[in-house]
Amino acid sequence: MSARLAPPAESGQAGADALEAAHPAREVWWMFRRNAAALAGLAILVVIAGAAIAGPALYPVDPFEIVWAPQTPPGAEGFPLGTDYLGRDLLAGLIHGARATLIVGGSAALITVVIGVLVGALAGYYRGWTEEILMRITEFFQVLPPLLLAMVLVLLFTPTLTTIAVAIGVVSWPSTARLARAEFLRIRELEYVQGERSIGSRDRRIIWRVILPNAAPPLIVSASLSVGVAILFEAGLSFLELNDPNTMSWGYIIGSNRPYILEAWWAVTFPGIAIFLTVL
């Protein structure tokens, strides 16, 4: 009887393996749940994103409105995080600033990835004079001080969220381009890519349908790191008053309250913690 039951068991195991192979996302989520740091990071990010999306509706206070006496300590007079040097609600500033910071960070990271992957993919696949030209352009941008170049770009145009995001993306793509080029140089010589060429596939299909999906893992990691770098760039530009004066951001809060850090430490500390947790 045991011999008769063995084939169904093997069949069931094969079916389970096939089901798991058909749903790789389940395996990824299972591995993700076993990482305590990843879960903590996800929870923090969800809280910050929720505050950016729903916060203004749940706490409808204008971040630029003077609501009480300047430099009111946290918890006093009904203000959980106190007020800044002008008497503006610091909690309202953090909530509205989260939206601007995340928008700039995500948009700048998207621009960084698009430019970097495009340049790196073309350089790594075609090589020759295409690689030489694109890599020389990449090296030119790489040797320039990124923050200084971003400051120049923002000063040349009206400081808005769009201008800041574009400026950060333009100065941050070289590292992504070099990573994409290295992956394309490695993958383009593999057998399945040679097989695609042998059946007459066009370069466009090989680049975007064959090589890029297999080069995606390190590029995804690079993209996630680019978001943190972009947030720090935005905070630095806002700290230097190179920001949209009509948009509240965490860097703007820190920069405007910097001269009063000894009298009102909370106005600098709380937005600094918010930036730290978001980037972390």
Q: Which residues is 261 bridged to in the sheet?
A: none
How far are the Cα atoms of 38, 86, 261, 277 from residue 65, in angstroms, in the given order? Answer: 38, 9, 21, 27
**pLDDT attached to residue 169:** 92
Does residue 189 carry a pLDDT above 60? yes
Average pLDDT over residues 64-84: 91
120 pLDDT band (50/70/90 cuts)? very high
pTM for the full model? 0.81
Rg (Cα) of the chain, in Å, rounded? 25
Hey, where are the domains in the chain? 1-34, 42-279
Average pLDDT over residues 246-271: 90
* % pLDDT > 70, the chain: 92
**pLDDT attached to residue 122:** 95
Structure tokens at 58: 């749940």
Got the DSSP string for 139-181?
A: HHHHHS-HHHHHHHHHHHS---HHHHHHHHHHHH-HHHHHHHH
How far is Cα 203 from Cα 122, in angstroms, rounded to an integer?
Answer: 10
Domain 42-279: give its CATH superfamily: MetI-like (1.10.3720.10)
Q: 181: closest CA among 144, 224, 142? A: 142
Give residue 98's identity as a one-letter amino acid code: A
Q: Element (H or E) spanning 107, and its range?
A: helix 90-126
